[in-house]
Each structure stands twice: as structure tokens, then as C-alpha cells.
Amino acid sequence: MLSPQELDTLLNLLKESGKPFESIAQSFYKNFPKSEQFKVGCVICMLLQDQLLTQTQRLVGFYLLYDIYRNETLPTTPFVPIVLETVEQTSDVVERKFLLQFLTSPPKELPKQSVKDFLTGCDPSEFPTIPDLDAFRRMHQEGAPQVIAGLALGIRPCVRDRSDESYWVPTTGDDAEEIASGLDLNSEELTLLSLEPTWSRPVPPLLETTVDEVFWLSVPHLLCEPMWDYTMCADTSLGSEVRELIVKAVKAPLPSSQQQVIFSGLEQDAKLVYHCGLTPRKLPDLVENNPAIAIEVLLKLMSSSQITGYFTVLVNMEMSLHSMEVVNRLTTAVDLPTEFVHLYISNCISSCENIKDKYMQNRLVRLVCVFLQSLIRNKIINVQDLFIEVQAFCIEFSRIREAASLFRLLKTLENQQG
């Protein structure tokens, strides 16, 4: 996993007990780029699990595991399990107190301290309270990616002898650091590769020959590799092409030839509209990029119970020329719910009133006035239901010719009904 030079650099960093934690971390980042930090973190975990580090080296190692992912949340930090396991199993009160800080939030002064400073200020007789570690495990399991079951069955290819005779690092004593510096580690021991169990795959026997087959006296050479037919089970239907084009239509305008393919597919298969991949969430993008396709799809969905969700999104999306084009086309083709049309008109009026850019405001007001005149003349809406709101809108923007024209139309209708 690490070259001998990289392993030597890591071990030298772990021995820096007199430097502040943040200084050690900076040296770590200088020696190991971002792409290598997870791999080095795994090596630190192996050294910790195999008890190959002194107390001070362990604290430095745990700090580096924390600092690599300090900007991420607890569930997405990959080294949480070893911290929780060590908190439960360690008999070192100082180490447990050090690790419990990382499960909540470390003190602000910790990066400025060295390992020796932390050990000096820590009272070994003070036993820290252990929180509910199962809650932290559940948080991590819910947020962490799942490992394939087969990969979790392997073991490390090299396991050190853990007997008393081979336990080379003393826990106390003045010579601990000196003995630790003489560690003779083989870089091949520190690897993520594991020995997985092999699966038995017997060679299938040859079938017995039938009476109508030629019996080979000498079996010819058989192909070692299967010849795959990659066209098998491939969906070559028109529905597949329509689904692919709908995905593109949501992202960008389509040429007329591709639009015709969609129209033809929806016409041939009435149920295809339910499987074309369009959802209410994607409707605003389809309306802005390909309003004609949006109109056709919504018309096909009119008899469905799902149409209410599409109406809700269409009413509340940002007002534009294309959205009004879609609504206007729908109102002339089918009978839309009255409350839907009224809500959309109110949304258009509100959008015109709230826009700050005068040029864009004038442009949108003209569009809305032409749109409302079309609805009124085609008798799509009953003007009396929205008379007060539309009249106030016309008065507010009376400086615009289309608004004045709409106001005159309202007055004409009012006089005719009076």
C-alpha cells in the first residue's frame, strides 16, 4: 500500500510528540496529497489495530484520522468504527478521553497543543463518561456506503504474532520511544488487499451424444471464452427511443425530426406516456426547452389521476412565454379545472408586480395582457370571477398599451352584462 519511503515518512510524523497537532497535520498534507490521504489513513488504522505504536504515536495517529475528514459529517467519515471500537476496548483513560472529543467537537485549543502538552494537562484519575456509542454506530451505518459482502470475508495477508514475546512496544518506560523508532515494518504488510475464499468452479462435463449426432473419436478444441450476443434482451422498441429523447428534451431543445419521433411514439402507444420518464419535477425544464412536447405529454395525461401533480407544478413554476404558451394551448384543447386557470392568472399578475427590472416587467405585462385577452375572447374564463384583480392589474400598468386595451375590453364586457 505504501512504499518504504512513504512508510518511513509516516512513522517519523507519528513520532513528533513535541510539535503542535496542527503543525504535524500540515507536514502530513505536504507529504501526502489529497488522493493518497485515505490510503495513508488506512495504514494508520492497521498500525493502531495491531498495537504497533506507543501512546504518543497513537494520539498523533488518531488526530490525523480526525483531521483528514474534519470538514465532513460523522456518518461520512470512514474512520469512525476504529474510534468507537477503541473507546470501548482501551484501558488507557487518557486515550479514551482524547478520542471522545472527536465524537462531539474537539476543544479549539487542541490543534495548538502538542501530545506532551495534552498528556501534561490530562488527569489519568478522571474517568470520562462514555456516551451511547450504538447511536454513533447507527448514524455511521446509515450514511456510509455498504461494502460488498464478499469483500468483507477476506483477511489481511500478514498478521503479526501477538504473543508476549513478540510484543515489542512497551506501554511505559523511558526507552519506549527509542524502541519504537527501531520498528522494522515491511511495507507489504500494510495493504488493503485481502485473502478472500476461493469458489470452486468445476469444469462442466460433456453431454452424452444422441443417436442423431456425430460421435467424435477425438474431441476437438473447445473455445475457452463464451461468445456473447450483446443484442440479446436489448430494448430496441420505439418506447426505448422515446424515453431517451425525453431525457434529452428535458435538458435542451430538440430538432423537429426528433420531436416527431416522440409524437409518433405517444400516438402509437397510449400507455407509453406513463413510462416515458417524465415526472412533475422535470416538467418545468421540459416546458422551457420544448413546450410543444410538454403540451403533447400533458394532453395524453389528462385522463390520468397523476395530472393534478403536473398542474400543481405548472401553476407554481416561474412565469415565462413558454409556460403561458403551454397553458393557453391546454385551455383551447381541453376543459381545465377553473381553480387551476385562476391560480395561474394570479401567479402571472404577482410575477409582473414583483419583478424589479423595468424592461422585463413591461415585456411580461404585455405577454400577460395578450394572454388574458385570448382567454376572455375564447370564453375560457368568466371575467367576473377575476374582475377586481385583473382591473387593478390594468390600472397599475395603464402606461402600457396592452394593459389599457385589456382594461377597455373589461369595461366593454361590464357594460354588455349590465
Residues 313 and 345 grouped into a single domain: no
pLDDT at 43: 85
Assessment of whether the complete model's pTM goes beyond 0.95: no
pLDDT at 252: 92
Instruction: Please give the share of the chain, as a percent, with pLDDT higher than 70.
Output: 81
Residues 27 and 127 grouped into a single domain: yes
Residues 366 and 402 grouped into a single domain: yes
Residues 241 and 341 grouped into a single domain: no
187 domain residue, yes or no: no
Residues 361 and 275 grouped into a single domain: no
Residue bearing the bigger pLDDT, 118 or 182: 118
250, 283, 317 - which closes a domain: 317
Could you read off the pLDDT of 131-184 as tens digits, one per residue?
A: 777 777 777 777 666 655 555 556 665 555 555 443 444 444 444 444 444 455
pLDDT of residue 320 exceeding 70: yes
Instruction: Supply angle C-alpha 20, 61, 42, rounded to 5.
Output: 145
Q: What is the DSSP letter of 319?
A: P
342 domain residue, yes or no: yes
Residue bearing the bigger pLDDT, 207 or 171: 207
172 domain residue, yes or no: no
Residues 391 and 294 grouped into a single domain: no
Task: Give the Cα separation of 412 and 391 in Å (integer).
Answer: 12
Residues 23 and 112 grouped into a single domain: yes
pLDDT at 167: 40
Residues 344 and 309 grouped into a single domain: no
269 domain residue, yes or no: yes
| 400 φψ region: left (φ > 0), alpha (ψ -120 to 50), beta (else) | beta
Winning range, highest mean pLDDT, from 119-133, 144-158, 225-239: 119-133
Residues 13 and 137 grouped into a single domain: yes
How many angstroms separate the Cα of 232 from the Cα of each of 141, 224, 236, 238, 240?
38, 21, 10, 17, 15
Residues 123 and 245 grouped into a single domain: no
- The alpha-helical segments, DSSP class H, found in 317-400 are 321-333, 338-354, 358-377, 387-396
289 domain residue, yes or no: yes
94, 125, 149 - which closes a domain: 149
46 domain residue, yes or no: yes
The mean-pLDDT minimum among 9-23, 94-108, 169-183 falls in 169-183
Residues 306 and 345 grouped into a single domain: no
The separation between the first and the last C-alpha atoms of the chain, rounded to the nearest angstrom, is 89
Could you read off the pLDDT of 346-397 as tens digits, one per residue?
A: 888 888 888 888 888 888 889 889 888 888 888 888 778 888 888 898 888 8
- Domain range for 398: 337-417
pLDDT of residue 193 exceeding 60: no
Strand partners, 155: 195
Per-residue pLDDT, averaged over 255-265, amounts to 90
pLDDT at 1: 66
The mean-pLDDT minimum among 1-10, 231-240, 332-341, 361-370 falls in 231-240
Residue bearing the bigger pLDDT, 334 or 251: 251
Task: Give the Cα separation of 145 and 140 in Å (integer).
Answer: 9
225 domain residue, yes or no: no
pLDDT of residue 226 exceeding 80: no
pLDDT range class, residue 223, cuts 50, 70, 90: low
pLDDT of residue 307 exceeding 60: yes
89, 114, 149 - which closes a domain: 149
pLDDT at 41: 86
Helix (H, G, I), strand (E, B) or coil at 114: strand
Q: Residue 363: count other Cβ atoms within 10 Å of its Cβ.
A: 15
Number of domains in the chain: 3
pLDDT at 185: 60
Residues 377 and 243 grouped into a single domain: no
pLDDT at 165: 43
381 domain residue, yes or no: yes
